[in-house]
Amino acid sequence: MTVPLPVPGSLPEFQRMFPDEDACRKYLFAVRWPSGFRCPKCASETAWWRKDGRSVECERKHVTSATAGTVMHKTHLPLLTWFYGAFLTSTLTPGISALQFARQLGLSRYETAYVMLHKLRSGLVDPDRTPLRGRVQVDEALLGGETPGRPGRSHGAKAIVAVAVEIVGYQDTTGRKPGGGHVDRQLREGPPEQHARGDKPARRRERAGRVRLEVIPDASAATLEDFVSRHVAPGATVSTDGWSGYGGLEGLGYAHKVVKQSRKGKSTGQYLPMVHLVISNLKRTLLGTHKGAILPHHLPAYLNEFAYRFNRRFWKAPSFLRALGLSAAPRRPRLEYKRLYAVRKGGDWQHPNPRPSGVPKQTV
Ligand SMILES: [Zn+2]
């Protein structure tokens, strides 16, 4: 049994833990070889850092990389820059833009910051791929496409995002009124209008559980049914609006609840409150942190990051190691600069968003 290494939770803590490159190397070493180094070739337990500061050499001169499989592998930036980058991406709740990131890290090239951020972000893919259960709200949202300074919207750049949110009921015994207007707080505690009335000591309340987000090509029945069947466990109660694309859910083994918008002009938020709080929070994050400047091709990466932060909002510690690619989770594909940029010209890079485990591919 090895004791898990501490991760920095605040800036002073980060500075104390990682004052220089050497401290980062020691930390990296401790994470890679928690029970001490052992040469994979000769089993020697004695090794030194090589001059490159990224690999170690045993007494029989066998070289072992310390950064293989991490975001730092084959990069020229100091480990300290990566560590600080991972600290920023894993602790700032709404995320960070490439421009702010470049300034924070003192990087002169925007492109370097941009690729670094994407690399760190690619580690923040929610590892929990077990399907949503119980009560789930599902809806679609249109994202992006707004062109600042121009009237109207350019529809070509818009993306359709399917959203599924688990609804978790709980007994609140605090007696205080939740809400307070802030969306994040509402997401934790449920929309205020549902439980702000009366003041009984213990009340049954609702909050948003886990979310699943995915860019979908269209809102057809085939696409939406595929989305639901991959992310929601059969037997769950799925609430949607009256769109015909959800008409076949009963046939797929779900209890389907259609939430009708009875009166014109009433926002759907009232009928599917959790899913709409998630969508408005997502839109705020994309507009506030990234000023809406996200290419549709890269939207999946931002959705992954949002879902990761959202599903982990009560539990943040492992993000630092995950961002660096130092967690025990399965290795992700290496993100390369050229492939990342080729995406806009139809390149084949795919942001990680693995198929959830335990849900067979739809056969209907
Ligand atoms: Zn050796």
CATH number, domain containing residue 176: 3.30.420
Q: Which residue has the higher pLDDT, 11 or 175?
A: 11
Q: DSSP for 93-125, please give it.
A: TT---HHHHHHHHT-S-HHHHHHHHHHHHHT-S
CA 50 to ligand 1 center in whole angstroms: 14
pLDDT tens digits, 48-101: 999 988 999 999 999 999 998 888 888 889 999 999 998 888 777 667 788 888
Q: Where are the alpha helices (DSSP H) in 127-272?
A: 183-189, 221-231
Q: Kindly give the distance from the C-alpha atom of residue 62 to the centroid of ligand 1, in angstroms, as a whole number.
A: 4
What is the chain's mean pLDDT, rounded? 76
Residue 192: which domain range?
A: 135-294
- Centre of ligand 1 to C-alpha 54, Å, is 16
For residue 56, being part of any structural domain is answered with: no
For residue 130, being part of any structural domain is answered with no
Specify the number of domains making up the chain.
1
pLDDT of residue 50: 92
Is 92 contained in some domain? no
Q: For residue 324, report the distance from its CA to the centre of ligand 1, in Å.
A: 26
Residue 72: inside a domain? no
Q: Is residue 310 part of a domain?
A: no
CA of 170 to the centre of ligand 1 (A): 56
**C-alpha–C-alpha distance, residues 198 and 181, integer Å:** 18
Distance 64 CA to ligand 1 centre (A): 9
Does residue 275 lie within any of the structural domains?
yes
| Distance in Å, CA 42 to ligand 1 centroid | 4
283 has a pLDDT exceeding 50 = yes
pLDDT at position 31: 87
pLDDT (0 to 100) of residue 322: 78
Lowest mean pLDDT among 114-118, 144-148, 305-309: 144-148
- 3-state class of 296 per DSSP? helix
Distances from the Cα of 197 to the Cα of 10, 205, 206, 207, 336, angstroms: 38, 12, 14, 17, 54
Per cent of the chain over pLDDT 90 is 29
Residue 326 lies in a domain: no
- Top-ranked range on mean pLDDT: pick from 74-83, 171-180, 198-207: 74-83
Mean pLDDT of 224-228: 95
Residue 172: inside a domain: yes
Greater pLDDT, 178 or 322: 322
